[in-house]
Amino acid sequence: MTTGERPIFVVELIEAPLLAFEAAHAAQAASFAQAPWFKSALVDYLYSKRAGRPTDFRPRIRPATKEEETTYRAFAREFSDMAECFLFAPVSKEH
């Protein structure tokens, strides 16, 4: 992480990395994960990728690895003009 950049966190589902996002710190990332809008966005994303709507899932939030952070930041640069948006970025080829 370069000085001045916010940390990146990864949403894991069934021990596989799914999406990455920025947060000021781990407590904020955990707070986001509990927010209804965040959960809704994850369900919508999962629904678009799989047959059937997930009804019960327990995502885990963890700090991104260096490789995941690099992938997120490369993806985020493409959307840099949308700085006021909350960005989820895929961190694996499966998703």
Asked whether residue 10 is assigned to any structural domain, the reply reads no
Asked whether residue 4 is assigned to any structural domain, the reply reads no
Q: What is the DSSP string of 65-87?
A: PHHHHHHHHHHHHTTGGGTTS--
**What pLDDT band is residue 3 in, cutting at 50, 70 and 90?**
low
Task: Read off the pLDDT of residues 32-75 as tens digits, 9 standing for 90 and up.
Answer: 988 988 888 888 877 776 655 555 667 889 999 999 999 888 88
Asked whether residue 33 is assigned to any structural domain, the reply reads yes
The predicted pLDDT at position 64 comes to: 95
In whole angstroms, what is the distance from residue 68 CA to residue 56 CA?
Answer: 26
Range of the domain at 65: 19-90
How many structural domains compose the chain? 1
The two tokens of residue 32 are 């986001």
The predicted pLDDT at position 95 comes to: 47
Asked whether residue 69 is assigned to any structural domain, the reply reads yes
Helix (H, G, I), strand (E, B), or coil: what is residue 94? Answer: coil
Asked whether residue 7 is assigned to any structural domain, the reply reads no
